[in-house]
Structure 1
Amino acid sequence: MKKILAIDDNEINLVLLNQIIKLYYSDYVFLQATSGKEGIDIAVKEKPEIVLLDILMPEMDGYEVCARLKNNTVTQHIPILMISALGQNPIERTKGLNAGADAFISKPFSQDELRAQIDVVLRIKKAEDLLRKRNESLEVLIKDQTTKYLQSEERYLQISEHALEFYWEVDSKGIFSYVSPVIEKILGQKPDDIIEKIDYKTLFQLKSDKEKVSAIEESFHNQSGFNDYEIELEANGKDKLWLSVSGFSIFNKKDEFYGVRGVCYDITTRKQAEIALKKSLKKIKNYQKKLKKLNTELTLVEEKERRRIAENLHDSLGQTLSLAFIKLSSIANEELPPQAEKVFNEISGLLNKAISESRTLTYDLSPPILYELGLVPAFKWKLEEVEDKQGLKTVLIGEDQKIEIKKEYNIFLYRIVTELLNNVIKHSQADLVELEIKKEKKYYYITVRDNGVGFKKQLNKKASLEGGFGLLSITERLDSIKGHLEIDSAIGKGTSATVIIPTSEG
């Protein structure tokens, strides 16, 4: 049975949430907790589909509860929707998201707004659970195939200790003058049917090919030796078998060549294991390709959902707020009592703030400028926002450059650059950040450069998966468009992160 957990120290809020869940999510069990500690215990035990979390609670506030849930391997995948009157404050929303919250809704809220937020979070969780399940299946498959391969190798080593092998000798004309009796067990042919009757080319089924001569033939003609030459045979209608053949030339006391002497080992078991492993590895690579494709599709679906929500916010909430402000402004010139005028001004200020915040939320979810004007204008807008909100000086180099890739991949590049800019804001202590766009030969180079404190760079300039979730996210997105990230930094000399992508998907 699927469950929804609400954590709030206010019983009235819990009753309200319970009624909403019963109304819209009748197939879910509603769980509740009146403290952070109780909520964490219930989440660990019941593993709900989503946690509705209040911020202002005694003993342990919502930020600490959120951080603890996200740091626990049992509960880290459970999405958290923060519900609080502090939601109107951008600083508090940012603090909640940094603590690990997946979404934020302000009190008081409408039932439709809460339902929409829960639907989005549950939809994203369902996609993440599907991807996680497929990753787990792939890990099980790889582990199983590795175990089977190791077992095959162990079996081969055990057989090798008692391996069947036969010795042979051919004269100067290549006719067999001797074969050991074990050949019958391996090839199913008796020595009497071979000695002085057939040559080595016939027994080893060597095809005549002037352009490609076998090592055995070269050794025979050059009167030299050879080691571990593998041949594939069909013996008496049985399954194919493989032999490892080694030999050396023999000479008489007068140093005259009179034949080749050698040994054959049955390596059929090993070759079958190698062939099976190659097939398994091919299947694994196919699974990996499918998973990468699925990851790309899930990301695109998520971005489409973000864009849909952003458009709904703009077309519905944004227009409603603007209309309310216009109607309120229509009485601005009328004479009002001082108390009414004070309230009027306060309401106007609140409406202005709500319009601004809804516009910011819309751009954070999915910037309209990206879809209307393109990548470079979206980068320019993002830099202006960073300069305005963070106080950093920003420079855009290559503003006239055009980045022509598939439209659905534009959002990938925008999110990557946004993540790099966020890293500069969080870690660099810089006062200047440059974004440079250029094209050379078959690649685009998009560089985010700062004059901050820098760090000791790795030996390998290419970003690795060990760089944390930010770099992991960037690496995964770049993999979808066949690109990669290079980072160059030194302590006290700032950091330069360059995204390199091909100019075409060919």
Structure 2
Amino acid sequence: MMLNADDFFNAKILIVDDQESNVTLLELLLGETGYRQVSSCMDATEVCALHRKHQYDLILLDLQLPDMDGFQVMEALKTNLNDPYLPVIVLTAQPGHKLRALQTGAKDFISKPFDLIEVKTRIRNVLEVKLLYKKLDNHNKLLEQQVLERTAELRESEARFRSLTELAADWYWEQDEQGKFTKVSGPVLDMLGIKVDSHLSDNRQAEVPEWDKDQRAALQSKIEARQPFLDFMLRRTHSDGTQQQFRVSGQPMFNENCGFVGYRGIGVEVIEKS
């Protein structure tokens, strides 16, 4: 993730100092360097509201301010949940304040009186971190939005697919890698002769029609080979000699690691017209 010159020079910078001469000097320096969006404020009580409105990429904050000092301003800025990264460089002539400022949340400090090379270097260094953080956050939000949109598309597609299969077939089913049914739509269990109630009142097993062994063996070989099958014919015979025929189609399912996870398919009962 790279930054270019425009990323730096379009960064929004706020100067907070109650000394007009300091503000003028910093504005002149930043303007000559190429920064295009530089503003200033001499009232510390306005900083939080300004930052919530403009979301500055960097705040140059003097610590010795009337009404509300720089430490109090930083504590107040921390309440802005929209900006978890506190983009502050403190301006101070007091060596003892530097460590406290960093502990309070400042990302760096600039000593007074100003050394112009130091000012430029420290501003660029902190801006680089802030802008990269900002790009990463925007990138993550974009990815999250794309995932949400893609998920919605897949759900809509799945719902449309299920609706179409229900219209085109007597049943739709999904099975896991062990062959157990995980999803069924339509009378698939009854049509395949699968009984879910094992507690029959007469303690006898329900009649299970006999499937054609050759057809079942051929189908099983396809399943074991993880092959799709289309319009595969299956026939079963009831105890009274009547027969039913089914036309089934299925395809294997695989996960993102190409691991087999089961089958999905559709089926219809074939009824011969008299």
Asked if these proteins are the same fold (TM beyond 0.5), I'd say yes
Q: Which residue of 2 aligns with 1:491?
A: none
Contact 1:4 1:31 in 2 (8 A): yes
Task: Report the alpha carbon displacement of residue 31 of structure 1 after superposing the two structures with TM.
Answer: 0.5
Q: Which residue of 2 aligns with 1:219?
A: none
Matched, 1:146 2:159: no
* Cα RMSD, aligned residues only: 3.9
Aligned pair count reads 214
Q: Which residue of 2 aligns with 1:130?
A: 135
For residues 202-281 of structure 1, what are the structure 2 equivalents within 5 Å?
A: 204=219, 206-207=221-222, 232-234=228-230, 252=239, 278=255
Task: Report the alpha carbon displacement of residue 101 of structure 1 after superposing the two structures with TM.
Answer: 1.1
Task: Report the alpha carbon displacement of residue 69 of structure 1 after superposing the two structures with TM.
Answer: 2.1
The structure whose RCO (Cα within 8 Å, separation 6+) is larger is 2
Task: Report the alpha carbon displacement of residue 59 of structure 1 after superposing the two structures with TM.
Answer: 1.6
Contact 1:8 1:33 in 2 (8 A): yes
Q: Which amino acid aligns with 1:2?
A: A
Listed one character per residue, the Cα deviations across residues 373-429 of structure 1 (whole Å, up to 9, x for unaligned) are: xxxxxxxxxxxxxxxxxxxxxxxxxxxxxxxxxxxxxxxxxxxxxxxxxxxxxxxxx
Listed one character per residue, the Cα deviations across residues 292-334 of structure 1 (whole Å, up to 9, x for unaligned) are: xxxxxxxxxxxxxxxxxxxxxxxxxxxxxxxxxxxxxxxxxxx
Structure 2: any 5+ residue segments left out of the alignment?
1-9, 172-190, 193-208, 259-274
Contact 2:92 2:98 in 1 (8 A): no
Matched, 1:12 2:21: yes
Q: Which residue of 1 aligns with 2:169?
A: 164
Change (3 A) 1:128 1:173: closer
Separation in 2, partners of 1:135, 1:213? 42
Q: Which residue of 2 aligns with 1:295?
A: none
Change (3 A) 1:18 1:53: same
Q: Which residue of 2 aligns with 1:68?
A: 76
Q: Which residue of 2 aligns with 1:456?
A: none
For residues 74-93 of structure 1, what are the structure 2 equivalents within 5 Å?
A: 74-77=82-85, 79-86=87-94, 88-89=95-96, 92-93=97-98
Separation in 1, partners of 2:246, 2:150? 33
Task: Report the alpha carbon displacement of residue 231 of structure 1 after superposing the two structures with TM.
Answer: 6.6
Q: Which amino acid aligns with 1:13?
A: N
Contact 2:230 2:249 in 1 (8 A): no
Task: Report the alpha carbon displacement of residue 260 of structure 1 after superposing the two structures with TM.
Answer: 8.9
Change (3 A) 1:153 1:265: farther
Change (3 A) 1:267 1:172: closer
Task: Report the alpha carbon displacement of residue 131 of structure 1 after superposing the two structures with TM.
Answer: 1.7
**Structure whose residues are more often helix by fraction:** 1
Separation in 1, partners of 2:109, 2:84? 17
**Structure whose residues are more often strand by fraction:** 2
Listed one character per residue, the Cα deviations across residues 47-97 of structure 1 (whole Å, up to 9, x for unaligned) are: 3321100111122111121222232134444511011122x11xx333322
Matched, 1:30 2:27: no
Q: Which amino acid aligns with 1:150?
A: R
Secondary structure at the counterpart of residue 19 of structure 1: helix
For residues 317-336 of structure 1, what are the structure 2 equivalents within 5 Å?
A: none
Please report the TM-score for the alignment, with normalisation by the length of structure 1: 0.36
Task: Report the alpha carbon displacement of residue 134 of structure 1 after superposing the two structures with TM.
Answer: 2.0
Change (3 A) 1:263 1:85: farther
Separation in 2, partners of 1:57, 1:143? 46
Q: Which amino acid aligns with 1:99?
A: T
Please report the TM-score for the alignment, with normalisation by the length of structure 2: 0.62
Q: Which residue of 1 aligns with 2:100?
A: 95
Change (3 A) 1:233 1:266: closer
Task: Report the alpha carbon displacement of residue 126 of structure 1 after superposing the two structures with TM.
Answer: 2.4
Contact 1:9 1:57 in 2 (8 A): yes
Q: Which residue of 2 aligns with 1:473?
A: none
Task: Report the alpha carbon displacement of residue 159 of structure 1 after superposing the two structures with TM.
Answer: 4.2
Matched, 1:110 2:115: yes
Contact 2:211 2:237 in 1 (8 A): no
Listed one character per residue, the Cα deviations across residues 454-504 of structure 1 (whole Å, up to 9, x for unaligned) are: xxxxxxxxxxxxxxxxxxxxxxxxxxxxxxxxxxxxxxxxxxxxxxxxxxx
Separation in 2, partners of 1:171, 1:45? 73
Q: Which residue of 2 aligns with 1:45?
A: 53
Separation in 1, partners of 2:132, 2:14? 20
Listed one character per residue, the Cα deviations across residues 199-241 of structure 1 (whole Å, up to 9, x for unaligned) are: 4566x4945xxxx968xxxxxxxxxxxxxxx972256xxxxxx
Secondary structure at the counterpart of residue 71 of structure 1: coil
Separation in 1, partners of 2:117, 2:79? 31
Contact 1:163 1:266 in 2 (8 A): no
Separation in 2, partners of 1:100, 1:30? 22
Separation in 2, partners of 1:49, 1:121? 9
Separation in 2, partners of 1:20, 1:114? 9
Separation in 1, partners of 2:77, 2:250? 55
Contact 1:165 1:266 in 2 (8 A): no
Aligned identity (percent) is: 24
Structure 1: any 5+ residue segments left out of the alignment?
175-198, 215-229, 236-242, 283-506
Matched, 1:57 2:65: yes
Change (3 A) 1:82 1:165: same
Listed one character per residue, the Cα deviations across residues 140-182 of structure 1 (whole Å, up to 9, x for unaligned) are: 12212221232234334544654512769876564xxxxxxxx
Contact 1:55 1:61 in 2 (8 A): yes
Separation in 2, partners of 1:73, 1:152? 37
Contact 1:49 1:78 in 2 (8 A): no
Q: Which amino acid aligns with 1:233?
A: F
For residues 87-486 of structure 1, what are the structure 2 equivalents within 5 Å?
A: 88-89=95-96, 92-159=97-164, 162=167, 164-165=169-170, 174=214, 199=215, 204=219, 206-207=221-222, 232-234=228-230, 252=239, 278=255
